[in-house]
């Protein structure tokens, strides 16, 4: 049978990008964990500091208040401001969304019910006049001060249930230590996103809260894919005795790096498009709320799956006696090793071969050079 | 245990079937002219959230939902939704152009009560609120008792009883003081100052199932109503107690009508669940009464927590923005995957086309059921996010293919083995994603439901498409690739370093 075969990888010398493409990068994810962790801790500390000092920029859903929106192609913020102030708003916030939509916000909850209705009517009328349209073209929203709080409470409820379910699922499907690492990575994303929102003063709306929940799901999704590979690779690690757990995690990370980067790019591209095209160009505020939180969260999620979850897993696993013993054995035999291109390639080949041995029935016709067997382990 | 990848024949069947189902269902929904049920932020409309002023049981709140649904339906707007959100009620009515008018009608936090009329009250020019004093009782000669009314059963007419002057200077009871168990003075709707002195409510709007304004055989307007199963005996008891007397129908502090009970009958007979109110109705007043009776009595008073109206033009531009952003994002992703995976990128393009066709068909079909949440901006965002998850399944598979190839395996065996390991990963990852969507959907508030629903839906589709479409397509391509030198072969797709024939 004629078949496609691939030359043994060791013979190839690739550039940086090609190495990434072929999963032959040699980034020491576990060894340099102090760097990754420091970066995260710095961002989180900064964010929490900002939170303590400045707090959040909460939307009207949390503070209570009213907002009006109208499409008005031929006017200016100044004209709109004058018009709504004339209609009875004191200190209104006027914002231009996209190319021709104006949003007016003000808190009129302190007024009496009848006064509120009157002011709302007057503002709608004033905005309609400025926009040269009728009152039905003005969108309004009024929020009591407790509304946003209720949504947040629900969100926190969902978050806790989600955490429990996820930790349970990963513990069963994978193992408890992976669940712990994934959990910490999720908390990391939560803290980073909250911090970034406080540092940059982005407005928090219920949509933001929702988007953050989704992000946690996505970040976890990303982590699960990496862990799936780690589990695959580490299944035979104790038996073969060639590599430590950390090295195996490193190898898995490098193997899935192309996939991790691709996945993150593929997820971030549409979100970026939501943010830039949907919200900025076309002025849909809801899209902006979602897009911004998703963007920040996805970046943090991509980072945490690669730089937080896996190194953490390695650290936790290396504490197990059997893996500590394994590490000592490997070190003893090979001396202190550094991960180089050729050793990574060698490892790839080994893993490939290990898999082959597990299921010969598939009928392999490749011409891989088997690595010379080391002496049997004691 | 790894799943079997299947014979060539079954792979082809699965592939062809998937494509046929996807595009077939799309064609069907398009030819039926079905479209997604747009949410109010896309179609324009309003939503309002009410909170009970006093702690209420879930059963009470569920009744509120039923009654509000009747109210909204009674206004003749379509696509309205009334949902419970914790102990709050959310009313959303998409697609109305005159949102404000509808909002006012639904916003009435009315209670419908049936009270016995004790006597009519005269109206002076110097009305004063009663304060803490109790109402005087109706004088015997002014009381609207059966004896005083002296109903003529052959004509159905009754004696005219003058208003009791004792009430001349007492103002009508204010709605906020209008308690069910109190004696009150209330004005008659459009009654030119006519007022009634009423006893404690004997029945609430719970009893009424449905009321309709109709013309009788003589062409006069009447209101026909049916009673609920439990309401029917209660109504009979009240009617018997007030036989040949006036029973006032009160909605939110205004007497809508005060009909005489069975004036053409000598003795009381059971209403048996239905009844008719006749009198000097105009079409408008009959409809108003029917609407009022349909409005029903809310078991609790509601307070408006938040409301939102979206103008149709803003909704439309949001829809354009959402779809535009989605399309642009999709195009970017496709461009990237084709650049990165070459021929395999085309598999992703095809796969996304199949997914998109199925998704649109499902969303459109669901738009015709009451089950699915309407398709709003949050839902659009959910779908946009799901692009990432869907494409990732391909990436996981293709990266596995590269691994297998790197380990020196033939394309033919790579596609089989690669799929098996990728399938496990996709399942695990999609489970987590679906779990998140499901929990959000269950616990969700407001817009989140839509977001979670469409995210969950596309996650399920992703699993199905991966198994029934991607698997057969790539495996078939892989088998073909091993026996031909086609540029479309998997090897070309992976453009793995040394894929030349040896």
- Between these two residues, B48 and B131, which has the higher pLDDT value? B48
User: What's the length of chain A?
Assistant: 378
Q: Which two tokens stand for residue A113?
A: 């019910």
Quick one: average pLDDT of B162-186? 82
CA atoms within 13 A on the CB side of B146: 14
What residues have CB less than 8 Å from A30, skipping those under 6 apart?
A246, A247, A249, A250, A253, A310, A311, A314, A315
User: What is the radius of gyration, based on Cα positions, of chain B?
Assistant: 34
Choose the closest CB to B307 out of A7, A142, A210. A142
User: What's the length of chain B?
Assistant: 502
Residue B462, chain A, CB below 8 Å: the answer is no
Q: Which two tokens stand for residue B4?
A: 């079997």
B351-356 contact pairs (CB < 8 A, 24+): B351/B390, B351/B394, B351/B465, B351/B469, B351/B470, B351/B473, B352/B387, B352/B390, B352/B391, B354/B18, B354/B19, B354/B22, B354/B23, B354/B465, B354/B469, B355/B22, B355/B390, B355/B458, B355/B461, B355/B462, B355/B465
- The model's pLDDT over A279-294, given as tens digits with 9 standing for 90+, comes to 666 666 667 777 888 8
* pLDDT score of A206: 73
β-sheet bridge partners, residue B170: B128
Helix (H) or strand (E) holding B100, with range, is: helix B99-107
Q: How many CB atoms lie within 10 A of CB A378?
A: 5
SS3 A95: strand
SS3 B118: strand
Return the DSSP state at B459: H
β-sheet bridge partners, residue B246: B260
SS3 B62: helix
Cα–Cα distance for residue pair B387/B437, rounded to 1 Å? 15
Total H helices, total E strands in chain B: 14, 13
| Cβ atoms of residues A40 and A304 within 8 Å | yes
* pLDDT score of B78: 62
Closest C-alpha to B19, from B337, B350, B343, B345 = B350
* pLDDT score of B498: 35
Q: Average per-residue pLDDT in chain A?
A: 77
Pairing of strands A57-58, A203-204: parallel
- Between these two residues, A284 and B366, which has the higher pLDDT value? B366
**Lookup result for tokens 């509601």:** B302
* pLDDT score of B357: 92
pLDDT at B408 over 60: yes
Contact list, B406 vs chain A (CB under 8 Å):
6, 9, 22-23, 348, 352
| Cβ atoms of residues A70 and B317 within 8 Å | no
- Between these two residues, A163 and B378, which has the higher pLDDT value? A163
pLDDT at A358 over 70: no
Return the DSSP state at A111: S
* pLDDT score of B460: 93
Q: How many CB atoms lie within 10 A of CB B487?
A: 10
Which of A108, A270, A275, A366 to mutate to test binding with chain B, by most B CBs within 10 Å of its CB? A270
pLDDT at A341 over 60: no
- Between these two residues, B350 and B207, which has the higher pLDDT value? B350
SS3 A71: strand
pLDDT at A6 over 50: no
Which range has the worst mean pLDDT, A34-38, A69-73, A364-368, B173-177?
A364-368
pLDDT at B16 over 90: yes
Quick one: average pLDDT of A29-56? 90
In which band, very low, low, confident or very high, does the pLDDT at B183 lie, cut at 50, 70 and 90? Answer: confident
Alpha helices, DSSP H only, in chain A? 16-21, 33-54, 60-63, 77-86, 113-130, 147-173, 176-200, 206-234, 237-240, 245-273, 285-303, 310-318, 321-334, 341-358
Q: Average per-residue pLDDT in chain B?
A: 79
Return the DSSP state at B333: H
- The model's pLDDT over A109-146, given as tens digits with 9 standing for 90+, comes to 777 767 777 888 888 888 888 888 877 788 887 777 66
| Cβ atoms of residues B262 and B243 within 8 Å | yes
Return the DSSP state at B128: B
Q: How many CB atoms lie within 10 A of CB A295?
A: 21
> Structural domains in chain B?
8-36+311-494 (1.20.1640.10), 45-108+304-308 (3.30.70.3400), 112-295 (no CATH)
Which of A217, A224, A371 to mutate to test binding with chain B, by most B CBs within 10 Å of its CB? A217
- The model's pLDDT over A227-284, given as tens digits with 9 standing for 90+, comes to 888 888 888 777 777 788 888 888 888 878 888 888 888 888 888 888 887 766 666 6
SS3 B84: strand
- The model's pLDDT over B202-257, given as tens digits with 9 standing for 90+, comes to 888 778 877 888 888 888 888 888 888 888 898 888 888 888 888 888 877 778 78
Residue B299, chain A, CB below 8 Å: the answer is no
pLDDT at B436 over 90: no
- Between these two residues, B265 and A279, which has the higher pLDDT value? B265
- The model's pLDDT over B308-342, given as tens digits with 9 standing for 90+, comes to 777 777 777 778 888 888 888 889 999 998 888 88
Alpha-carbon A180 to chain mean position? 17
- How near does any CA of chain A get to the CA of B280, in Å? 35
Cα–Cα distance for residue pair B94/A210, rounded to 1 Å? 22
- Between these two residues, A50 and A293, which has the higher pLDDT value? A50
Question: For residue A349, with 0-12 CB atoms within 10 Å meaning exposed, 13-18 middle and 19 or more buried, which class applies?
Answer: buried
Choose the closest CB to B403 out of A2, A255, A364. A255
Q: Which two tokens stand for residue B188?
A: 């008659």
Choose the closest CB to B455 out of A23, A214, A272. A214
Which of A155, A169, A273 to mutate to test binding with chain B, by most B CBs within 10 Å of its CB? A273
What residues have CB less than 8 Å from A299, skipping those under 6 apart?
A268
SS3 B278: strand
- How near does any CA of chain B get to the CA of A31, in Å? 24
* pLDDT score of B464: 93
| Cβ atoms of residues B64 and B318 within 8 Å | no
What residues have CB less than 8 Å from B429, skipping those under 6 apart?
A221, A224, A225, A228, B392, B396
Q: Which two tokens stand for residue B10?
A: 């079954």
Q: How many CB atoms lie within 10 A of CB A275?
A: 20
Closest C-alpha to A253, from A326, A313, A331 = A313
In which band, very low, low, confident or very high, does the pLDDT at B167 lie, cut at 50, 70 and 90? Answer: confident
Cα–Cα distance for residue pair B359/B382, rounded to 1 Å? 12
Contact list, B388 vs chain A (CB under 8 Å):
218, 263, 266-268, 270-271
User: Cβ separation of A228 and B428 shorter than 8 Å?
Assistant: yes
Quick one: average pLDDT of B12-24? 92
Quick one: average pLDDT of A166-192? 91
| Cβ atoms of residues A130 and A83 within 8 Å | yes
| Cβ atoms of residues B286 and B221 within 8 Å | yes
HEC string of B2-17 equals CCCCCCHHHHHHHHHH
User: Cβ separation of A7 and B497 shorter than 8 Å?
Assistant: yes
Residue B381, chain A, CB below 8 Å: the answer is yes
* pLDDT score of A45: 94
Choose the closest CB to B408 out of A165, A211, A368. A368
pLDDT at A59 over 80: no
What residues have CB less than 8 Å from B12, skipping those under 6 apart?
B472, B476
β-sheet bridge partners, residue B89: B50, B84
A299-313, B67-81, B82-96 — most confident range: A299-313
Residue B484, chain A, CB below 8 Å: the answer is no
**Burial A96-109, CB ≥16 within 10 A → b, else e:** ebbebbbbbbbbbe
| Cβ atoms of residues B409 and B461 within 8 Å | no
- Between these two residues, B484 and A151, which has the higher pLDDT value? A151
Cα–Cα distance for residue pair A4/B491, rounded to 1 Å? 8
Q: Which two tokens stand for residue B187?
A: 């004005």
Return the DSSP state at A361: G
Return the DSSP state at B162: P
- How near does any CA of chain A get to the CA of B92, in Å? 13
> Structural domains in chain A?
20-57+148-323 (1.20.1640.10), 65-143 (3.30.70.270)
* pLDDT score of B100: 62
Pairing of strands A139-143, B45-52: unpaired
pLDDT at A13 over 70: no
* pLDDT score of A24: 67
Return the DSSP state at A103: E
A187-190 contact pairs (CB < 8 A, 24+): A188/A40, A188/A44, A188/A300, A188/A304, A188/A308, A189/A215, A189/A216, A189/A219, A189/A297, A189/A300, A189/A301, A189/A304, A190/A216
Return the DSSP state at A204: E
A275-279, B5-9, B354-358 — most confident range: B354-358
Closest C-alpha to A276, from B321, B389, B378 = B321
Q: Among residues of chain B, what percentage have pLDDT more than 70? A: 85
- Between these two residues, A1 and B208, which has the higher pLDDT value? B208
pLDDT at A218 over 90: no
pTM (2 d.p.): 0.66
Which range has the worst mean pLDDT, B118-127, B230-239, B354-363, B466-475?
B118-127
- The model's pLDDT over B286-310, given as tens digits with 9 standing for 90+, comes to 877 777 777 655 667 777 777 777 7
């Amino acid at each position: 049978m004629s078949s496609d075969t691939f030359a043994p990888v060791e013979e190839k010398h690739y550039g940086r990008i090609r190495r990434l493409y072929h999963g032959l990068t040699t980034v020491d994810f576990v060894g340099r964990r102090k760097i990754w962790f420091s970066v995260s801790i710095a961002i989180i500390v900064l964010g929490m500091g900002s939170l303590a000092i400045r707090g959040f920029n909460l939307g009207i859903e949390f503070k209570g208040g009213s907002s009006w929106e109208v499409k008005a192609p031929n006017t200016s913020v100044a004209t709109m401001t004058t018009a709504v102030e004339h209609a009875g708003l004191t200190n209104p916030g006027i914002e231009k969304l996209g190319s021709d939509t104006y949003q007016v916000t003000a808190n009129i909850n302190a007024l009496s019910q009848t006064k509120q209705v009157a002011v709302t009517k007057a503002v709608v009328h004033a905005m309609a006049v400025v926009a040269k349209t009728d009152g039905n073209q003005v969108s309004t929203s009024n929020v009591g001060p407790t509304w946003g709080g209720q949504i947040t409470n629900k969100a926190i409820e969902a978050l806790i249930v989600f955490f429990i379910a996820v930790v349970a699922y990963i513990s069963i499907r994978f193992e408890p230590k992976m669940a712990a690492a994934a959990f910490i990575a999720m908390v990391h994303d939560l803290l980073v996103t909250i911090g970034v929102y406080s540092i940059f003063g982005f407005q928090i709306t219920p949509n933001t809260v929702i988007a953050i929940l989704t992000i946690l799901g996505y970040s976890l999704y990303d982590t699960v894919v990496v862990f799936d590979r780690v589990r695959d690779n580490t299944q035979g690690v104790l038996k073969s005795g060639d590599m430590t757990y950390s090295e195996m995690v490193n190898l898995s990370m490098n193997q899935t790096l192309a996939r991790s980067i691709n996945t993150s790019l593929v997820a971030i591209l549409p979100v970026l498009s939501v943010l830039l095209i949907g919200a900025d160009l076309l002025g849909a505020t809801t899209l902006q709320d979602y897009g911004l939180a998703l963007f920040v969260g996805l970046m943090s999620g991509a980072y945490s799956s690669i730089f937080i979850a896996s190194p953490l897993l390695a650290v936790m696993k290396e504490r197990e006696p059997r893996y500590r013993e394994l590490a000592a054995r490997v070190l003893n035999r090979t001396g202190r090793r550094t991960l180089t291109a050729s050793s990574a390639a060698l490892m790839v080949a080994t893993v490939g071969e290990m898999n082959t041995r597990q299921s010969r029935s598939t009928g392999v016709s490749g011409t891989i050079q088997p690595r010379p067997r080391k002496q049997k382990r004691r | 245990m790894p799943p079997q990848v299947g014979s060539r024949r079954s792979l082809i069947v699965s592939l062809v079937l998937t494509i046929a189902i996807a595009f077939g269902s799309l064609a069907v929904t398009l030819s039926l002219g079905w479209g997604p049920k747009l949410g109010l932020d896309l179609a324009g409309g309003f939503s309002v959230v009410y909170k009970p002023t006093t702690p209420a049981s879930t059963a009470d709140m569920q009744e509120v939902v039923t009654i509000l649904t009747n109210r909204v339906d009674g206004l003749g707007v379509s696509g309205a939704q009334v949902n419970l959100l914790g102990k709050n009620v959310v009313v959303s009515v998409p697609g109305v152009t005159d949102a404000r008018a509808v909002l006012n009608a639904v916003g009435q936090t009315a209670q419908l009560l049936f009270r016995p009329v004790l006597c009519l009250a005269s109206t002076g020019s110097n009305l004063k609120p009663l304060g803490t004093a109790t109402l005087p009782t109706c004088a015997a000669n002014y009381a609207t008792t059966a004896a005083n009314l002296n109903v003529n059963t052959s004509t159905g007419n009754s004696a005219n009883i003058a208003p009791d002057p004792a009430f001349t200077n007492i103002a009508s009871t204010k709605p906020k003081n209008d308690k069910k168990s109190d004696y009150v003075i209330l004005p008659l709707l459009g009654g030119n100052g006519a007022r009634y002195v009423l006893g404690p409510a004997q029945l609430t709007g719970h009893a009424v199932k449905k009321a309709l304004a109709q013309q009788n055989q003589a062409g006069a307007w009447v209101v026909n109503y049916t009673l609920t199963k439990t309401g029917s005996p209660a109504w009979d008891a009240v009617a018997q107690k007030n036989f040949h007397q006036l029973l006032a129908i009160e909605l939110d502090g205004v007497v809508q009508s005060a009909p005489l009970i069975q004036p053409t009958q000598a003795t009381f007979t059971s209403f048996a669940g239905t009844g008719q109110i006749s009198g000097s109705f105009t079409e408008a007043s009959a409809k108003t009464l029917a609407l009022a009776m349909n409005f029903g009595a809310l078991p609790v008073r509601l307070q408006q927590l938040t409301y939102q109206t979206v103008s149709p033009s803003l909704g439309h531009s949001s829809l354009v923005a959402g779809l535009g952003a989605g399309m642009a994002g999709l195009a970017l992703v496709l461009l990237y995957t084709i650049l990165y995976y070459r021929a395999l990128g085309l598999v992703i393009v095809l796969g996304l086309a199949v997914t998109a066709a199925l998704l649109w068909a499902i969303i459109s079909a669901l738009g015709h059921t009451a089950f699915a949440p309407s398709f709003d901006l949050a839902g659009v965002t959910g779908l946009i996010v799901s692009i990432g998850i869907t494409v990732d399944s391909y990436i996981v598979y293709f990266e596995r293919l590269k691994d297998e190839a790197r380990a020196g395996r033939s394309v033919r065996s790579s596609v089989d083995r690669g799929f098996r390991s990728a399938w496990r990963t996709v399942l695990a990852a999609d489970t987590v994603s679906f779990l998140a969507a499901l929990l959000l959907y269950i616990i969700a508030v407001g817009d989140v439901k839509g977001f979670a629903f469409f995210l969950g839906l596309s996650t399920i589709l992703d699993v199905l498409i991966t198994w029934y479409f991607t698997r057969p397509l790539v495996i078939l391509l892989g088998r073909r690739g091993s026996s031909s030198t086609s540029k479309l072969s998997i090897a070309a797709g992976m453009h793995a370093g040394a894929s030349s024939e040896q």
